[in-house]
């Protein structure tokens, strides 16, 4: 009998230097606090920043809020669908791109929008890209990410119970 693997969650944005590493480190902090058997990482739909560290403004926003960060950007690869239980897109564009590259319906079902997990989100489910903005834009993105975490944690806890 093979050992049970950890539940795996990945966050995906455009270049994997702003929103997805932000979500990764906030969620990683939460699952570590709860001692959940969950592996967390992130990637981008494009490879422009592959090999780069997270944007300094992302790191600063995370640190101001009490999170740590260590990150090297990478591009999401279609063969990774089999490796993840949940693939979290940061906006509708990422959702469409990921679902388009999914090999089958089962893989497409793994892709969800982060703000779906925020009951206060309303109809706007995108986390806006702060890249061309300033400190306030990064702090706002972090606020939106944090607001979705309780609902995402509920989803993951339920999935872990069903394993």
H or E stretch covering 87: strand 86-89
The question of whether 108 is a catalytic residue gets the answer: no
Q: Are strands 7-13 and 38-44 parallel, antiparallel or unpaired?
A: parallel
Give the whole-angstrom CA distance, residue 92 versus residue 113.
Answer: 7
Residue from 52, 85, 129, 139 carrying the catalytic annotation: 129
The question of whether 18 is a catalytic residue gets the answer: no
The structure tokens 């339920």 sit at 158
Contact 60, 53 (CB under 8 A): no
Closest CA to 86 of 138, 154, 33: 154
Give the whole-angstrom CA distance, residue 146 versus residue 47.
Answer: 26
Active site residues: 13, 19, 129
């Amino acid at each position: 009998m093979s050992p049970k693997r950890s539940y795996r969650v990945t966050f995906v944005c455009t270049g994997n230097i702003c929103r997805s590493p932000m979500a990764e480190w906030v969620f990683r902090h939460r699952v570590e606090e709860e001692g959940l058997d969950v592996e967390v990482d992130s990637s981008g739909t494009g490879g422009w920043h592959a090999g780069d560290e997270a944007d300094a403004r992302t790191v600063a926003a995370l640190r101001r809020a009490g999170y740590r960060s260590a990150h090297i950007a990478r591009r999401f690869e279609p063969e990774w669908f089999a490796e993840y239980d949940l693939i979290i897109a940061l906006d509708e564009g990422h959702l469409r791109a990921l679902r388009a590259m999914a090999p089958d319906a089962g893989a497409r079902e793994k892709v969800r929008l982060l703000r779906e997990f925020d009951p206060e989100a309303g109809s706007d489910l995108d986390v806006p890209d702060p890249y061309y903005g300033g400190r306030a834009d990064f702090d706002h993105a972090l606020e939106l990410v944090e607001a979705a975490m309780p609902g995402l944690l509920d989803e993951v806890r339920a999935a872990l119970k069903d394993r």
